[in-house]
Amino acid sequence: MALVIAPEQISDEAARLSINEIAEFLQQHLGQRMTAYLSGVTDPKMVSRWIAAQNTPRDESKMRLREGYQVVRLLVSVYGNDTAKAWLFGSNTRLDDQAPAYILRHASNWEDLRFVVPAARTFAGAAD
């Protein structure tokens, strides 16, 4: 299956878009609870506050949201919302059998996330 959007374009968007726009995209495609889970917050209502620019996520949450955006944008463009959700929350052999969503939620630095986007690219048929 051919990629609908180039991974490079998605990476550029993840860096360029405001955190409010990224949170809104994730909420639109994953829902508020899943977006909150990925970002590492316990209150799903926080996502709405970010979207409305009433609050700003902490740096770790911003990192998780931007990385999560890349994964979700890529997978949604190729497979749609349901498959993107299933991939995020399923066990992944490329990630030591951990769910990508779990890795995103618990990442404390970029090093923790280094394999998540490449695993999504491989799944989407865009292996580097």
pLDDT band at 5 (very low <50, low <70, confident <90, very high): confident
Structure pTM?
0.92
pLDDT in tens, 70-127: 999 999 999 999 999 999 999 999 999 999 999 999 999 989 999 999 999 999 985 4
More confident residue, 8 or 36: 36
CA distance 38 to 35: 5
**Which amino acid belongs to residue 31?**
G
